[in-house]
Amino acid sequence: MYGWRARIGVIVSPPNTVVEGEFPRTAPEGVSLHVARLGRPQGTPQQLGADVVLQTNQDLPRAAESLVELKLDAVVFAHTSGSMLGGPAYERELVSMLEHAVGCPAVTTASAVVAALRASGTTRLALLAPYPEPMTLAEKDFLEEVVTGGSLF
């Protein structure tokens, strides 16, 4: 039976083609993954920036609601820029909203990255991102503020 050990919901951004292929490869036997996708924002790929990413996040409650009946054990918001660009307080709001909407523990890419960096004792980091410079710098600022409260790069 699928999901006898755990059922995990995953919410991805519209253009993401990686998570749905990679996550099942990492799941242990008995863990099922169930994916919901955010709606596509208005605009062309060249116009997509921080404002459009945050606009896309407005669809997060709908995507979360689509997972409720699955009685998940956890939900993951697998959207790096979507979970970092609004800053640490915004990221905490996303986690809270997801937990309330889906009724299970939630994690974002941002909170997972922070937990991994802290657990590993990372003190220096290089950031390579496929985003326009302002978005990459916003992610850098997020990580520095949350992980060390200072310089990380």
Sign of CA dihedral 149, 125, 137, 36: negative
- Structural domain range at position 81: 6-123
Residue 42: pLDDT band by 50, 70, 90 thresholds? low
Model pTM?
Answer: 0.88
Query: For residue 138, is it within any domain?
Result: no
The two three-digit tokens of residue 111, written as one number? 């909170």
User: pLDDT tens-digit profile of 96-107?
Assistant: 999 999 999 999
Domain with 29 in it: what CATH number? Answer: 3.40.50.12500
Average pLDDT for 28-36: 96
In this prediction, what percent of the chain has a pLDDT beyond 70?
Answer: 91
Instruction: State the average pLDDT over residues 134-153.
Output: 82
User: How many structural domains is the chain composed of?
Assistant: 1
Residue 146 lies in a domain: no
For helices 50-57 and 133-143, angle between their N-to-C axes, nearest 10 degrees:
70
pLDDT > 90 in the chain, percent: 56
